[in-house]
């Protein structure tokens, strides 16, 4: 019985904790550039990879890496919160 009461108190506290957080006005971050936390420069795959009895060829892996490089080169995340404290600039 005591374990059930402890569990219920923990649930109530967990559900109430977001109400104690400081709200961020959406207007203050609407157009703020956040940037990428880390810039990757994938060089391309040189050998195939086997995962769960499936073989992923080097060409297939390279396509995914090229897509990731392209996304970071052409898109700058804006308007949300992130763990990065400063925006990343590219020249």
pTM, two decimal places: 0.49
Residue range 64-74, pLDDT digits in tens: 889 988 988 88
Residue range 1-52, pLDDT digits in tens: 788 999 999 998 888 776 666 777 777 777 777 777 788 888 888 899 999 9
Token code pair at residue 30: 């609407």
User: At a CB cut-off of 8 Å and minimum separation 6, what does 57 contact?
Assistant: 48
């Amino acid at each position: 019985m005591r374990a059930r009461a402890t569990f219920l108190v923990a649930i109530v506290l967990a559900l109430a904790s977001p109400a104690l957080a400081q709200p961020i006005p959406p207007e203050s971050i609407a157009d703020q550039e956040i940037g990428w936390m880390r810039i990757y420069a994938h060089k391309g795959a040189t050998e195939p990879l086997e995962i769960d009895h499936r073989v992923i060829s080097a060409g297939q892996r390279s396509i995914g890496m090229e897509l990731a490089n392209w996304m970071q080169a052409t898109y700058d995340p804006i308007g949300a919160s992130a763990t990065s404290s400063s925006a990343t600039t590219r020249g």
